[in-house]
Amino acid sequence: MRLPLWAYPWVLGGAFLLALLLHHFGRLTLARPIMFSVSIIGVTIAMRWKLKGQVWFWTIMASLAALHVPLILFIPWTTKWIPAFVLIPIGIADLYAMVWVLSVVGKFMRVPMATNGKHPRSKKMRQDQEA
């Protein structure tokens, strides 16, 4: 799960445009939580990319993204420096919560969430190649 090199300028450009837009409307304090939320949602989508053809997956992801909007708008955010060791656990908890929701819904949809051993680094695949 790695961002391709061509995507870096797009991410930086999007972040810059978002900051300009929020500065124009006097809401620059929302830039960090928006970027943080978008990045965590992006990581969640990347982790479950094999579900990209499922309508329920995109419905759940849109619902989870919509749930982030009130958190961003109604929590009083600061522009002061916040250490990474405070932000990272919050992001990880958010990520785990979204993956858990996808797993629970996936069980109802009868979609296996675990890999089937076809990943190049999986123990099962290495054993099959050696035999």
Task: Establish if 43 belongs to a structural domain.
Answer: yes
Domain hosting residue 37, numbered range: 7-130
Count up the domains in the chain and report the number: 1
Task: Establish if 75 belongs to a structural domain.
Answer: yes
Task: Establish if 2 belongs to a structural domain.
Answer: no
Task: Establish if 30 belongs to a structural domain.
Answer: yes
Task: Establish if 114 belongs to a structural domain.
Answer: yes
Close Cβ partners of 36 (under 8 Å, ≥ 6 residues apart): 87, 91
Close Cβ partners of 39 (under 8 Å, ≥ 6 residues apart): 91
**Of 130, 96, 114, 97, whose CA–CA distance to 50 is shortest?**
114
Mean pLDDT by 10 residues, the chain (131 residues): 83 92 91 92 92 94 96 87 90 95 90 62 62 62
